[in-house]
Structure 1
Amino acid sequence: MGSSQGSALSTNVAEFVEKPSARGEVLFVDCLPTYVKELIAGGAAGAFAKTAIAPLERVKILMQTRTEGFHSQGVFQSLKRLLKHEGILGLYKGNGASVLRIVPYAALHFMTYEQYRCWIINNYPSLGTGPSIDLLAGSAAGGTAVLCTYPLDLARTKLAYQVMDTKASFRNGIHSYHAQPVYNGIKDVFRSVYMEGGILALYRGVGPTLIGILPYAGLKFYVYEELKRHVPEEHQKSIIMRLSCGALAGLFGQTFTYPLDVVRRQMQIQSLQPSNQGGDPRYRGTFQGLTTIIRNQGWRQLFAGLSINYLKIVPSVAIGFTAYDVMKSWLRVPPRQKSKSVSAA
């Protein structure tokens, strides 16, 4: 009964799309190459998901970088503190850079994932089409997207971190941050960082980022697609199902790679800490960063902000995957089962 109703609904939707009034839009969408549709779907999904969790992302960065007044407070108190001193806009500081980064990042991530997946299936048929393909394609796609958009992530972190530059009233007597210039936007960050150390400075922290994103991106796609395979056919297009699978995929992948994210954040803001807040040496690599944090800050610092990351990763990954699937349907991207033949064509 349910399946027949679902089939009838799909037929009605298809008939509606094919109506003459929408024919121009349909023809335009159909004329787009598949990879362009995947870029559009991925970019839109990333922007929507990132904006939805921007306040939690801001607080997480403040906790990861041990910003004065935030590293010992919980999520709710940190949000209240930001609202009190910076207002609603303070919750979204750095979100412009974040969205500017996430649109090309998510677009490249999803599109290259699909392309890498087709390439692996077509060139290495002995590997089959199982979850191992999603793991390999997801990892390669994550690395590609990071290398192309990392400077924007660096700018986002620096803008989100400079809370003490704009508000001196969090705690009396705190002035160590005021000696540092306040960035006035993304272009100002790029100019300052480039003058400080050239192109390489724009990629400070990219080592732990790549080491973390390769397993995280692979695991995220692996878990999401594997969970979807076990969902009954009649529930395959359920929004709740996609949200649930996406949330579990994000939680699983993030738990295993979170310490690398902490190292990356601390490497990104080292130039803003001339005294290194306690005399910690500057990190020259991922492994040194991990060992130094454990020795000087304690192993718990490697998981600072993990609780808030769980709070944000559930809606972020869930919304991202769901929006991507919905956008692919709206843009009439061929079903996954046809990916091999489409690529070959």
Structure 2
Amino acid sequence: MKHTNGVQSSEEKETEDAKPLNTTSLVLTSLTAGAMAGAVAKTTIAPLDRTKINFQINQAPYSARQALKFLVKSYKREGFLSLWRGNSATMARIIPYAAIQFTAHEQWKQILNVDQDKSVRTASWRRFVSGSLAGVTSQSLTYPLDMARARMAVTQREQYSSLSHIFVRIWREEGPRTLYRGYCATVLGVIPYAGTSFYTYETLKSLHMEYWGTSGTNPFEKLMFGAVAGLFGQTSSYPLDIVRRRMQTSSVANSQYQTVVGTLVKVYRDEGLRNGLFKGLSMNWIKGPVSVGISFSTFDTMQYYLRKALMYTSS
């Protein structure tokens, strides 16, 4: 990857000294690294994710104390593994989602000539657009799995026993269109979220390269850059995340949220900004940076070593 200032890291230069990989190998390594990044990141913060979704889909007031009570109650009632309830659906979604998102981002960067653009202003704009398009691409292809994951996170095991059970019940009882309920809110939210996340991460790496020259970035630095990217990305799109969850779980929560605008208006009128549209944001300021930081750092590190291994085995 060439940066906007034309300086290459020691990792990239070492990689270029080996035999170049073909397009298929580049795509496969991106898919594999992306899948691993998503799986590691989401499994790490799964209990916090389940807690956040629980508060997002109802009108109960959120606080750190109430979030802790929910975790303790889930543990006492259903056992330790209940804190990861819905994680199988999360893995079924996040592995293809992250693989597609990171790979799509690589491809969109090439199409938009992000790394070849010497202008800081246009390069920044293209970084944001390539990240947004990567998010839209991955969400569009994996959205029903996100719906299933949200349903599993807020219900008891008796209601939905497995991922396939969710799809069968939704299809029979609510119709196939329900599998994409909340899709518009998701896409509207992923544009600023993915755009801001990828833009921030790539920009911080580029600035690091400009300052430190060819020293490159180590995994801890990538983790920190990803954490900052996650903080900005999560905050920029959070109200639409609330809307998405309300629409996805409206039938199991005995509430009616049918449209993006209608849901925004209803949540704001009934619950306000802090306890409605931004409910649980403080938890996202914890789990978001952790998740995104782990995801970006894992992807970059695994992609580098996978490509390095393939280059030297094929040379």
Scaled to the shorter chain, the TM-score interval is 0.7 to 0.9
Shift of 1:78: 2.3
Instruction: Give the secondary-structure state (helix, strand or coil) at the position aligned to 2:240.
Output: helix
1:302 has 2:302 as partner:
no
Q: Contact 2:224–2:293 at 8 Å: present in 1 too?
A: yes
Q: Using the alignment, how far apart are the partners of 1:33 and 1:286 within structure 2?
A: 40
Runs of 5+ unmatched residues, structure 2: 1-8, 310-315
1:57 has 2:49 as partner:
yes
CA RMSD of aligned residues (A): 2.8
1:182 has 2:159 as partner:
yes
Query: What do the CA deviations read for 1:75-131 (whole angstroms, capped 9, x no partner)?
Result: 322222221112111110000000110000000000011101101119x97988722
Q: Contact 2:85–2:152 at 8 Å: present in 1 too?
A: yes
Query: What do the CA deviations read for 1:15-72 (whole angstroms, capped 9, x no partner)?
Result: xxx9xxxxxxx99x8895211111111111111111011111011111111287x856
Q: Using the alignment, how far apart are the partners of 2:308 and 2:46 within structure 1?
A: 29
Q: Contact 1:30–1:332 at 8 Å: present in 2 too?
A: no
Q: Contact 1:37–1:333 at 8 Å: present in 2 too?
A: no
After the TM superposition, which residues 233-244 of structure 1 pair with which residues of structure 2 at under 5 Å, given as runs? 233=213, 235-244=215-224
After the TM superposition, which residues 173-252 of structure 1 pair with which residues of structure 2 at under 5 Å, given as runs? 182-231=159-208, 232-233=212-213, 235-252=215-232
Provide the residue aligned with 2:81 in structure 1.
89
Shift of 1:211: 0.3
Shift of 1:199: 2.4
Q: Using the alignment, how far apart are the partners of 1:147 and 1:252 within structure 2?
A: 23
What is the TM-score normalised by the length of structure 2? 0.84
Query: What do the CA deviations read for 1:253-282 (whole angstroms, capped 9, x no partner)?
Result: 1111101001110111111133x3xxxxx2
Q: 1:159 to 1:62 in 2, by over 3 A?
A: same
Structure 1 letter corresponding to 2:236: F
Q: 1:31 to 1:223 in 2, by over 3 A?
A: closer
Greater RCO (CA < 8 Å, at least 6 residues apart) = 2
Structure 1 letter corresponding to 2:92: L
Structure 2 letter corresponding to 1:228: K
Question: Runs of 4 or more off by more than 4 Å in structure 1?
Answer: 29-32, 70-73, 124-129
Q: Using the alignment, how far apart are the partners of 1:155 and 1:252 within structure 2?
A: 27
Provide the residue aligned with 2:38 in structure 1.
46
Q: Contact 1:247–1:313 at 8 Å: present in 2 too?
A: yes
Structure 1 letter corresponding to 2:159: V
- Seq. identity, %: 38
**Bigger shift: 240-249 or 72-81?**
72-81
Q: Contact 1:45–1:106 at 8 Å: present in 2 too?
A: yes
1:149 has 2:124 as partner:
no
Please, which of 223, 247, 261 is the counterpart of residue 267 of structure 1?
247
Shift of 1:198: 2.8
Instruction: Give the secondary-structure state (helix, strand or coil) at the position aligned to 2:79.
Output: helix
Q: Using the alignment, how far apart are the partners of 2:297 and 2:207 within structure 1?
A: 17
Query: What do the CA deviations read for 1:194-241 (whole angstroms, capped 9, x no partner)?
Result: 113332110011111000001110110000011111112355221221
Q: Using the alignment, how far apart are the partners of 1:95 and 1:67 within structure 2?
A: 24
**Bigger shift: 225-234 or 245-254?**
225-234
Provide the residue aligned with 1:284 in structure 2.
258
Structure 2 letter corresponding to 1:134: R
Q: Using the alignment, how far apart are the partners of 1:322 and 1:126 within structure 2?
A: 25
Q: Using the alignment, how far apart are the partners of 2:205 and 2:118 within structure 1?
A: 23
1:324 has 2:304 as partner:
no
- The alignment of Structure 1 onto Structure 2 pairs a total of residues equal to 290
